[in-house]
Amino acid sequence: MNFKSLALVAGLMGATALGAHSASADVKVGLLGGVSGPIAAMAPPMLDAAGLAFQQVNEQGGIMDGQNIKAVLGDSGCNPQNGVDAATKLVNIEQVIGLVGPHCSGAVLAVSNSVSVPAGVALVTPSGTSPEITNLDDKGTVYRTVPSDDFQGRSLARALVDRGTNKVAVAYLNNDYGTGLAQSFKAEFEAAGGEVAGFGAHEEGKASYRSNLAELSRGGADTLVIFDYGDGTGLTILRQALENGFFTNYVGADGMKSDAIINELGAENLETFMASSPVGVESDSLTLFNDAFAAAGGDPDTIFVNTAYDAAFVMALAIEKAGGDKAKVAAAISEISNGDGEAIKPGEWAKAKALIAEGKAIDYKGASGDLNFDEKGDVPGAYALFKVGGEGFVMEAALD
């Protein structure tokens, strides 16, 4: 299958089986993505990466006694209520054994509280970054393969101060993602000696944010930090800020690292824009994923594809470890990536399957990092700053 068509096929058919085994032998896993809404351009490559993980599983013996993983697609729309509706169908009607996703923090929080935790279903999000996810009363069922925005916001703040940017204004989307990032950034920026001269939340979907921008500019900062989505409101804000010359320099986080802003605004107008984003640490695991994803027609440099792959592969490993028992999958996630056991790299499903069958411990070394989930289901991570180059985003510097 051409992975670039996976999201489309799944959307048309409602469920996509990735393999050749009979439907009666399927093990269903929900892929709950932001197919519509503010990250619609980011979602398809993430779903493709998860699909690659499942295809590798199915091609190397499948789950347990050769059963096939069947990915069942749900669309959260990057919206809490839509996420709950889609997850309810996946859990109660489709009877999925686990959820990979949602992609957006607000949907992760809503789905966890209303659907997955009450049902005892394991959930692994590849891109839900809000610090509030850490504090969920999730009974050990919620994990993420991407680090918390508490780390990202603070790393970005320190980087700006180190680069000589000592005064900024902050515009943030009034949701769990934007608020969490803005608060962690502000605390660290001020602690490092910087001044936040303007700090304002905005709502999604307005036609004009010029009054918000004018208010933020009154503090005299020449740099605007935008915590929003480049496929949605963040694009509108950046466009209107550029059109009206409210600021000189522009900074975003991972949500703004979207090709949509380059396609819409032009690289020549984004010379003073940069964005932070989680990055995979150079390793054999990352190389294995990059090569496999590229061979399948994907772009390994696309944001969140390595974390999406890891979320799906981790889910498959946990299902195997749990013997297909839905009630044991969440606990198994901690067991298969905790620093103990024989190393398993991306694509090494047959090796992992054999070791699990022998009762031996395994330690998944992910494409995005070693993972090693803590007691809250969180992982450490690495970040980098990206600028816009001739062919898209180009990494400029690693962040501490």
Determine the Cα–Cα distance for residues 108 and 130; give it in Å rounded to an integer: 9
CA distance between the termini of the chain: 39
**Per-residue pLDDT tens for 204-226?**
999 999 999 999 999 999 999 99
Is the backbone peptide bond immediately before 300 cis, with ω within 30 degrees of 0?
Answer: no
pLDDT band at 13 (very low <50, low <70, confident <90, very high): very low
Topology of domain 150-271 in CATH is Rossmann fold (3.40.50)
Determine the Cα–Cα distance for residues 207 and 233; give it in Å rounded to an integer: 9
Helix (H) or strand (E) holding 172: strand 167-173
pLDDT at 387: 97
Q: What is the mean pLDDT of residues 7-27?
A: 46
Determine the Cα–Cα distance for residues 62 and 26; give it in Å rounded to an integer: 10
**Per-residue pLDDT tens for 104-151?**
999 999 999 999 999 999 999 999 999 999 999 999 999 999 999 999
Strands 392-399 and 382-389: antiparallel
Reply yes or no on domain 3-146+282-364 having CATH 3.30.1320.10.
no
Q: 77: closest CA among 129, 127, 34?
A: 34
Domain extent listing, the chain: 3-146+282-364, 150-271
Task: Calculate ∠ Cα 211-214-216, nearest 5°.
Answer: 110
pLDDT value at 347 more than 90 = yes
Tell me how crowded residue 282 is: count the other CB atoms within 10 A of its CB.
9
pLDDT at 12: 32
Work out the mean pLDDT of the chain and round it to a whole number: 93
**Per-residue pLDDT tens for 173-192?**
999 999 999 999 999 999 99
CB 362 within 8 A of CB 352: yes
Determine the Cα–Cα distance for residues 57 and 64; give it in Å rounded to an integer: 11
CB 226 within 8 A of CB 199: no
Determine the Cα–Cα distance for residues 55 and 215; give it in Å rounded to an integer: 51
Determine the Cα–Cα distance for residues 306 and 291; give it in Å rounded to an integer: 12
The most distant pair of C-alpha atoms in the chain lies apart, rounded to whole Å, by: 66
Could you tell me the two tokens for 148? 């918390």
pLDDT value at 15 more than 60 = no
pLDDT band at 390 (very low <50, low <70, confident <90, very high): confident
